[in-house]
Structure 1
Amino acid sequence: MNVGVARPNPAKRNGGLTGIDKLPVEHAVDVRAPGPKTTGLHSGVVGDPIGDVKNHGGNDQAVYAYSREDYDWWQESLGRTLPPGMFGENMTTVGLDLNETRIGEVWRIGDVLELQTTFGRIPCATFAVKMGEKQWLKRFAREARTGTYLRVITPGPLRTGDPIEIVHRPAESIGVSEAFDIYMHRKEELARLLVAEALPADLRQEIERRLG
């Protein structure tokens, strides 16, 4: 479980803050639906700041999860240590293959909290500056190890070490990693994404517009 601290955003020439710098916490953190992206509470994690509220946060990006297994893959590929929170995730999962997670899965975490997967992370300039790796955005997009955003179905506390149980996996959906790869690189297959009922509304509208 990782929570951020608001800091000046080096990717923004005209100033602004970012909450991408996150560190592990041991205490329980409340998670609730934050409301609309620009006008709501922004992050679903209480006390977790978001700087760019136009592109981040809101109900469909209430929580971001990234797996320890994908971190390990990147560590070997990049030849550097990547601690939990380095990618700006709220949850660093262990034992879940997030690349095979399907859009619309519902996770029960602990006794109360329920979250639903929505889409993978689309990398931004702030992420590129934080990583400091050459061609990082293209590389991250090419590998499609995106982690997943989640919306809040049932609010509740989240603690480090809480077990994650998949309580619903939709039959008619698509994997988060494959959906991201289609969105970024396989435009001729965009219509396949529309089968996922849990796809964020703004993303669905964009895809429908692009399909004409």
Structure 2
Amino acid sequence: MKQKMPMIHTLAVGMPKELLDSKGRSMITGIEKQRVQEVYLSSRGFEGDDVADKKHHGGPDRAVCLYPAEHYIQWEQELGKTLPTAAFGENLTVTNMLEAEVCIGDIYKIGDAVIQITQGRIPCSTIDRYTEANILLKRLIETGYTGFLARVLEEGTICADSKVELVEKHPACISVLYCNEVYFKNKDAIAMQQIQAVDALAEDWKEKLEKRIQLLQSKVLN
């Protein structure tokens, strides 16, 4: 069966600003994005787009955030309401690019730009506060439907109707979903080493996995 071509569902950017949640609590966040028809993607990320929390978001390995459009149907059914555009703070809401199919190191050409998948998204509580849903973060982690991040190999303009082409499948074929399952369950040191060995994996993930591997190994020794 031929795999369907990936497509852009929504292209969106946004700068950090103050948002108030349903309890009136203030937060500075870049999660709220607006649809755009065309935007330039540099190695640092999209023009007119940034993150507030530079420690946990952004940087060269996390220049682009992608989220599968298909999951919106499930989340909206579970929550009983419509989610906002780019509800997970993603720049590209995409179809036919599920976590089970997209692998670390896969290279895609989108418009004039070329990106490489670096890691699964590690979601945070801002998602719950922004969408006013107290179960969404928990459900993202349970399902592994977190979306994923990418580095920019070639800068260029991306349009809302740009083609998405898989240029190269990484030979290790370690899917984002598999990485998420291993990362969040935090029990299998051998699987962690297997993921860590993928050259294209984000440095942040390599460091996080190394700490977890050492912790697991120390428990075995003790």
Fold conserved between structures, TM > 0.5: yes
Distance 1:100 1:186 in 2: 22
Q: Give 1:209's match in structure 2, choosing from 208, 211, 217.
A: 211
User: For residue 33 of structure 2, what is the amino acid of its counterpart?
Assistant: K
Deviation at residue 93 of structure 1 after TM alignment: 0.9
Contact 2:41 2:157 in 1 (8 A): yes
TM-score, normalization by structure 2: 0.83
Contact 2:109 2:166 in 1 (8 A): yes
Distance 2:88 2:41 in 1: 19
3-state DSSP of counterpart to 1:74: helix
Question: 2:13 matched to which residue of 1?
Answer: 3
Moved more, 119-128 or 70-79: 70-79
Deviation at residue 20 of structure 1 after TM alignment: 0.3
Deviation at residue 195 of structure 1 after TM alignment: 3.1
Question: 2:200 matched to which residue of 1?
Answer: 198
- The unaligned stretches of length 5 or more in structure 2 are 1-10, 215-222
Greater per-residue strand proportion: 2
Question: 2:95 matched to which residue of 1?
Answer: 94
Contact 1:33 1:62 in 2 (8 A): yes
- The unaligned stretches of length 5 or more in structure 1 are 35-43
Deviation at residue 6 of structure 1 after TM alignment: 2.6
Contact 2:108 2:116 in 1 (8 A): yes
**Rg larger in 1 or in 2?**
2
TM-score, normalization by structure 1: 0.86
Residues 56 and 9 of structure 1: CA distance in aligned 2, closer, same or farther (over 3 Å): farther
Q: Is 1:64 aligned to 2:65, yes or no?
A: yes
Question: 2:183 matched to which residue of 1?
Answer: 183
Q: Is 1:22 aligned to 2:33, yes or no?
A: yes
3-state DSSP of counterpart to 2:34: strand
Question: 2:6 matched to which residue of 1?
Answer: none
Distance 1:15 1:78 in 2: 23
Distance 1:209 1:6 in 2: 31
Moved more, 156-165 or 83-92: 83-92
Contact 2:121 2:149 in 1 (8 A): yes
3-state DSSP of counterpart to 2:46: coil
3-state DSSP of counterpart to 2:140: helix
Q: Deviations over 1:160-188 (max 9, x none)?
A: 01110001111214100110111011421
- Aligned residue pairs: how many? 200
Contact 2:186 2:212 in 1 (8 A): no
Distance 1:77 1:14 in 2: 25
